Structures are given as structure tokens and as C-alpha cells.
């Protein structure tokens, strides 16, 4: 009788092991499918980004030909698309020319610490920085979405 119980127990254990293996295989297959879908979605997103980049370049080109500063039109969902030009003004330090004037390598003008050390030593003056600072203006096309209709700029 003990051998019958042992045989039955072994059969039950064997059946449980097979179910566990099948469950593990199904889980592994599910994970593989999710991973595959993840990378497919990522590829689609990259393709869409590239398409949007090309579309924006075309929009920019047409907008520059129109010679207008702003274009507003209503989208099908009731929001408004606003295409406008935005000027950005920034000051740029010509580190190469400044390094040449100071008779040092350009690599020695990387961090604020470098500038402070040269100033502390008396080698760098605010006048030098002013001479090598230029104002740059760049005009960029901006495309945005608004919930309410924007007012016309004067």
C-alpha cells in the first residue's frame, strides 16, 4: 500500500511540474510578445517624429514665403493652431578670441572657476569680456496649439 501512495504522489508531483512548466512557457511567451510590441511601437514613434520633423521644415519654408508674422486657424477639434515667428536675442562670448588676447589655450576657459581664477589673478577684466561678447538674434518659427482664439498682435 505504501508503494501505491508513493506512485500516486509521484504522478501528482509529475503532473504539477508539467503544469508549472507550461505556465512558465506561457508567461515567457507573453513577455516576448510584450517586448516585441514595445519595440514595434518605439519604431513607429521614431518614424512619426521623423515625419513631423519633415512636415515642420515644409511648414517653415511656406511660412517664410508668406511674409507674415503670424497665422492662426481653427483645428477640427475646436482648438487653434498658431504659427508665428519668435526672435531670440542672446549674448555669446567668443572664447577663442578672448583666449588669444589672454595668450592662453581655449581649453583653459571652460568653467566659471577658470574665469574667476583669471579675474583674481588680474589677467581678465570686465572690459575684455565686453569686447569679446556679441549679441546674436535668431528668428525661429514656432507652431503651437491654443484652446481659445488668440488676439491679433499689433
What DSSP string runs through 52-87?
HHHHHHHHHHHHHHHT-SEEEEE-TTS-EEEEEEEE
**Who's near 145: CB < 8 A, 6+ residues apart?**
75, 79, 80, 81, 82
Q: Residue 2: inside a domain, yes or no?
A: no
* Residue 13: domain span: 8-67
Single out the residue in 43, 67, 91 at which a domain terminates: 67
Domains: count for the chain: 2
pLDDT 10s per residue in the chain (154 long)? 555 566 666 666 677 777 777 778 888 899 999 999 999 999 999 999 999 999 999 999 999 888 888 999 999 999 999 999 988 999 999 999 999 999 999 888 899 999 999 999 999 999 999 999 999 999 899 999 999 988 776 5
Amino acid at each position: 500500500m505504501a508503494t501505491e501512495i508513493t506512485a500516486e504522489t509521484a504522478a501528482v508531483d509529475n503532473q504539477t511540474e508539467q503544469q508549472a512548466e507550461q505556465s512558465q512557457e506561457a508567461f515567457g511567451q507573453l513577455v516576448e510578445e510584450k517586448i516585441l510590441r514595445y519595440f514595434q511601437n518605439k519604431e513607429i514613434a521614431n518614424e512619426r517624429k521623423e515625419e513631423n520633423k519633415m512636415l515642420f521644415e515644409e511648414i517653415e519654408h511656406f511660412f517664410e514665403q508668406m511674409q507674415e508674422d503670424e497665422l492662426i486657424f481653427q483645428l477640427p477639434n475646436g482648438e487653434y493652431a498658431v504659427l508665428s515667428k519668435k526672435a531670440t536675442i542672446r549674448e555669446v562670448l567668443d572664447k577663442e578670441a578672448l583666449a588669444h588676447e589672454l595668450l592662453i589655450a581655449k581649453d583653459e576657459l571652460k568653467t566659471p572657476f577658470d574665469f574667476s581664477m583669471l579675474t583674481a589673478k588680474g589677467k581678465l577684466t570686465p572690459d575684455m569680456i565686453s569686447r569679446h561678447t556679441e549679441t546674436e538674434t535668431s528668428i525661429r518659427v514656432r507652431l503651437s496649439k491654443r484652446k481659445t482664439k488668440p488676439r491679433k498682435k499689433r
